[in-house]
Structure 1
Amino acid sequence: MANIKKLTNISGVVLAGGQSRRMGKDKRNLEWGGTKFLDKVCFTLGELFDEIILVTAIEDYPCGHLPVRLVTDAIPHSGSLGGMFTGIKEASHPSVFVVACDMPFLNSFVISRLCTMP
């Protein structure tokens, strides 16, 4: 997207360690417009952040095609809060922007505005 600067003091964190019990299938692999939810989220954050941390429950999740650093939950079976803890712990920047993997309508302009508000 044009006119959006990288936010070099913020790490992007994507929570992708859920079991998708209510959905019945892995939400990371759901598609919208031919693109997987997880891919869309990671590429959107990649427009803004120089560090994107993907927090999952398993360490061998296939994500080599994504601009992310894969980490596993520091506290297994601890839900979203545990994923946030892991993402914050692993981040190299003083601030983090956390999203879930099932948010394909994220908008880099809106995220940029949120992150740069006084």
Structure 2
Amino acid sequence: MTCIILSGGSSRRAGGLNKAFLTIEGETFIERKIRQFTPLFDELVVVVREPEPYRHLPALIVADQVPGQGPLMGLCTGLKKSSSDINFVTTVDSPYMNPELTAALAN
């Protein structure tokens, strides 16, 4: 199963700050999500506006196919890049997702 992490938003409500790189408890939102979800899934696909700031991360980083079209377009991009028939989708700006609950949902 693949986990698709949507991180391609424009962050209008966050004043233009890239929410993926906000920090919590010493790590960025995206680092936290990847750390928590790597053991749960066979593959992680992170859909972003601009791939370059994410290149150091241990996940498949893909540019939103049509930027600025919202989360459904990000989902389409992630599904095209996924190698799985079954996918779990989440957003980068939910740093308090419970990994145990996520595992239960995924199973």
Q: Does the pair score TM above 0.5?
A: yes
Q: Is 1:90 matched up with 2:81?
A: yes
Match of 1:29 in 2: 21
Equivalent positions of 1:77-116 (< 5 A) are 77-116=68-107
Letter in 2 for 1:72: A
Q: Distance in 1 between matches of 2:18 and 2:26?
A: 16
Runs of 4+ aligned structure 1 residues displaced above 3 Å come to: none
Contact between 1:59 and 1:71, CA under 8 Å: does it hold in 2? yes
Q: Is 1:51 matched up with 2:43?
A: yes
Q: Which one has a larger percent helix, Structure 1 or Structure 2?
A: 2
Deviation of the 1:61 alpha carbon: 2.7
Give CA-to-partner distance per residue, 1:36-92, whole Å, 9 cap, x none: 11110111111211210010111323331x220011111221111110111111100
Match of 1:6 in 2: none
Q: Distance in 2 between matches of 1:13 and 1:89?
A: 11
Unpaired stretches in structure 1, ≥5 consecutive residues: 1-9
How many equivalent residue pairs? 106
Is the radius of gyration larger for structure 1 or structure 2? 1
CA RMSD of aligned residues (A): 1.2
Unpaired stretches in structure 2, ≥5 consecutive residues: none
